[in-house]
Amino acid sequence: MVIAVSTVIFALRSGEAESDHDPARPGLWLPLVRRIRPPFEGQWALPGGPLRRDEDLEAAAARTLQATTALEPSYLEQLYAFGTLDRAPASASERVVSIVYWALVDSEEATRAAETENVHWFSADDLPDLAFDHDVIIEYALWRLRNKVEYARIAHAFLGDTFTLAQLREVHEAILGRTLDPANFRRQIEAGNTIVPTGKRVTGTSYRPPKLYRYNQAIEPVDRGPLGSSARRRPSSDGAEASAGPPDSAG
């Protein structure tokens, strides 16, 4: 029995002509890797690999992700552990239990990510046939994302430090896959406590440029309670670890 750690990465990108999207609305994209060995050789799969003896789960997720896509998201959240018996064909030599992490990256990070013959970004609306149960995993990740966006800072990952309400609404629309009434959206957001006005406006030539907002820093993007912050310690190139955020608590 093998423990694998995989990652579902979502980026927001403008729609491209070959997709069903209204090109004006951005959509969700994710990187996939073409498998070079059986089972499912030649098919696309989530970035990932076997857990090594000397790393914890989150480090394994970060390592395989970085190795395939060059991405290093600032937060990786554990999504779910997939361990049904039918994940791989009966002919597979080993049973694989997959612990899946997910992250959101902004389009700048994503466009920096190298594409090769074996690593390619796909629209969530236009996925190829996938290895294992990775279609189920992605479906579940999309569902979690769409549920989470209602009440958490999740959209922040796709925006800069400051943004207008219209930009925030567009991100919500892209994630949910439908248009939202601007007035209702404004009321809903302003009734909550997740964003606060910065007191500044977009610089520009319009008479009353839109207000700029920022996220309420008091709210963690990924609240893991007693497991502490999910901000990872990033290994530096000489192997020494530098902390990227509050230290992890045990476990």
Which residue, 97 or 119, has its beta carbon nearer to a copy of itself? 97
By three-state DSSP, how is residue 116 classified? coil
Q: For residue 199, give Cα distances in angstroms to 65, 153, 164, 183, 192.
A: 38, 20, 12, 20, 18
Least distance (Å) between residue 99 CB and a copy of itself? 5
Least distance (Å) between residue 154 CB and a copy of itself? 15
Least distance (Å) between residue 23 CB and a copy of itself? 28
Identify whether the C-beta of residue 26 lies closer than 8 Å to the C-beta of residue 121.
no
Which residue, 187 or 200, has its beta carbon nearer to a copy of itself? 187
Helix (H) or strand (E) holding 99, with range, is strand 96-105
Which residue, 116 or 147, has its beta carbon nearer to a copy of itself? 147
Which residue, 111 or 216, has its beta carbon nearer to a copy of itself? 216
Least distance (Å) between residue 98 CB and a copy of itself? 10
Q: Which two tokens stand for residue 131?
A: 């290895």
Binding site for a copy of itself (CB under 8 A): 1, 3, 51, 53-57, 78, 80-87, 95, 97, 99, 133, 136-137, 139-140, 143-144, 147, 224-227, 249-251
What is the rounded CA–CA span in Å between residue 236 and residue 251?
Answer: 22
Identify whether the C-beta of residue 21 lies closer than 8 Å to the C-beta of residue 125.
yes
